[in-house]
Each structure stands twice: as structure tokens, then as C-alpha cells.
Amino acid sequence: MIPGPRAGVIGWPVAHSLSPRLHRYWLEAAGIAGAYDLLPAPPEALATRLRGLAQEGYAGVNVTAPHKEAALLLVDRVTPLAARIGAINLIRIDPQGRLEGDNSDAGGFLAHLQASAPDFEPKGARALLLGAGGAARAIAIALLDAGIGQLILLNRTRARADSLAAALGDSRAKAGDWHERAALLGDAALLVNATTLGMAGQPALDIDLSALPAEGIVYDIVYKPLLTPLLAAAGMRGFRTVDGLGMLIHQAVPAFEAFYGQRPVVDAALRRHLLEALGETEAG
């Protein structure tokens, strides 16, 4: 068999990453004899590792924690979107060996929201975004670019929400007080958890959902576990819920296309394949 393109995911640690399982599923479905490798790199080795990728024949790589911000400073160029987000999760390598950093987390977040709640109209809507880390920043930009009417940024450490709001420089985005999170849900069309709360081993996100309007959507980007305490509480109250696994899958679509030259299909069988690795079922 003729070897196909080579790609991988660079992180530290990286052994837990679902990306190899995801990309290898699509490789097999498309009949492409490509490779997708795990590329562990501690922070001090990141620059050298990235520099060697072109020579090793890589078409590109995904970048995961903790390198998303550091890698942005090490590539030859970044897309305007990635520059605004300040982090990259995708590197394309051109035939001359130049590295281009991009961010597909923002698009992945939105694509999964649109797939899960196709009637959600961001224009004029009010959204509450919890968190001010790398993921929250990508999501804030995705929602603003999609035309969200008002974006309230809440974070445990208020100063980080303030600096995110300032960096966004958009009058629709305002920081609020973390302790006001339940009260601020009134009139919100969308609640997004982009903190680590609810992850396996972390405390649950403590929020009273009673002020959220009945048609409100609750989106938790945490996917381990798939059914977080937040999504379980939202489901009990009859709100529409959106889980974090779809964002992970959708952010990988442009990556696969960049590495292997074909746009992959997101389907229920792929979700089941990934849920199996997470030890979960669709019902949660």
C-alpha cells in the first residue's frame, strides 16, 4: 500500500487524546492509507518538535493542551481568526515546510450548536458564557462572529473575565460577576459552560437554572463525562442540551480536510465509536 499523508496531535500529556481514534476512523472510512500519530512533547521540547515536523513528512498536526497558546508564537504564520483567539489547535504544513497555525475550536463549537439546535438564531440573542480560559475565548469570538446580540462573560477570577471583555473590544461583550450567574440567566437564550467544572475529578458547576427561559439552550463543552451534572440538571428541567463531544468532532473536520484532502462526514456511528472509548453510551 502507498503510504498516505501523515498527521498527529502534539500535547503533554497526550496519551488520553481522542484525536487518533477520531482521525483513524475517518481514514478507514475514506480508504486513505494515512497515519495519525500521538506526539508527546513537554513544553521545553515544543519548539524543536514543531521545527522537525516538515522534515519528518507531516502534512500537519493538531495542537492540544498545554501548547495551544505557546505554539501560536512558534509557527511561521497564523490565520487572522487564530490571531484574534490567541491560540491554535491546528497546524498546516505547506510543501515548502512552512507552518501555518489556525483555530478550529471556534468553528467546531458553532457547527455543533447549529447541528444540535438548528433553529437557534444568535442575532439579537443573549448568551451567558462561563469561563475565561482558552476555550472560552474561542467561543466568545465564535458567538460574536455569528452575530450574538449580547454576551455576558462570567469567570471565577473576575479579572480574567474583565481582560477577556477588554480584549474582545466589542460593545456586545461585557464581564459580569460570577456570583450573579443564576440571576443573569433571565432573558438568556444560551448558557455555555467553558470552565473545567463538571469534568471527571472536578466539582460540578453549581448553578440554579430556574431563571433560564423555557426555550433556553444549555451547552457544556466538557465531554468527560458526556452527561455532566449541568446537562443532567438542564435535561431534568426540560431545557435543550448540547454536549461537548460534538464540538470535539466538529473541530476535527477542517483538520482532517487539511491533512488528508477530503472533507469527512460527522455521523452517529462516529459518535458511538468515540463514546465507546470514553466508556459511555448515547443515553449517558
Active centre residues (catalytic): 68
Closest CA to 71 of 48, 94, 96: 48
Site for ligand NAP in 138-197 (CB under 6 A): 155-157, 160, 194-197
Q: How many amino acids of this chain bind ligand NAP (CB under 6 A)?
A: 25
The CB-nearest residue to ligand NAP is: 133
- The answer to the question of residue 16 lying near ligand NAP (CB under 6 A) is no
Residue placing its CB nearer to ligand NAP in the complex, 38 or 278: 278
Question: Distance (Å, rounded) from C-alpha 54 to C-alpha 112?
Answer: 32
What mask of x and - would describe binding to ligand NAP in positions 84 to 113, judged by CB under 6 A?
A: ---------------------x--x-----
How many Cα atoms occupy the beta-carbon half-sphere of 108 within 13 Å? 25
Instruction: Decide: helix, strand or coil at residue 275.
Output: helix
105-116 vs 244-260: helix axis angle to the nearest 10? Answer: 120
Sheet holding 150-154, edge to edge: 173-175, 150-154, 126-130, 190-193, 217-220, 240-242
Nearest distance from C-beta of residue 265 to ligand NAP, angstroms: 18
Nearest distance from C-beta of residue 155 to ligand NAP, angstroms: 5
What single letter denotes the amino acid at residue 18? L
Residue placing its CB nearer to ligand NAP in the complex, 156 or 263: 156
Contact pick of 132, 148, 173, 230 for ligand NAP (by CB under 6 A): 132
Q: What angle do CA 164, 121, 169 make, to 5 degrees?
A: 20
**Phi, psi (rounded to 5 degrees) for 108:** -65, -40
- C-alpha grid cell, residue 242: 448540547
Contact pick of 72, 90, 136, 175 for ligand NAP (by CB under 6 A): 136
Contact pick of 4, 86, 133, 284 for ligand NAP (by CB under 6 A): 133
Closest CA to 12 of 37, 36, 44, 43: 43
What single letter denotes the amino acid at residue 102? D
Task: Output DSSP code: residue 266.
Answer: P
Site for ligand NAP in 201-260 (CB under 6 A): 203, 221-223, 244, 247-248, 251
Site for ligand NAP in 30-69 (CB under 6 A): none
Question: Residues in the site for ligand NAP, rule: CB under 6 A?
Answer: 105, 108, 131-136, 155-157, 160, 194-197, 199, 203, 221-223, 244, 247-248, 251
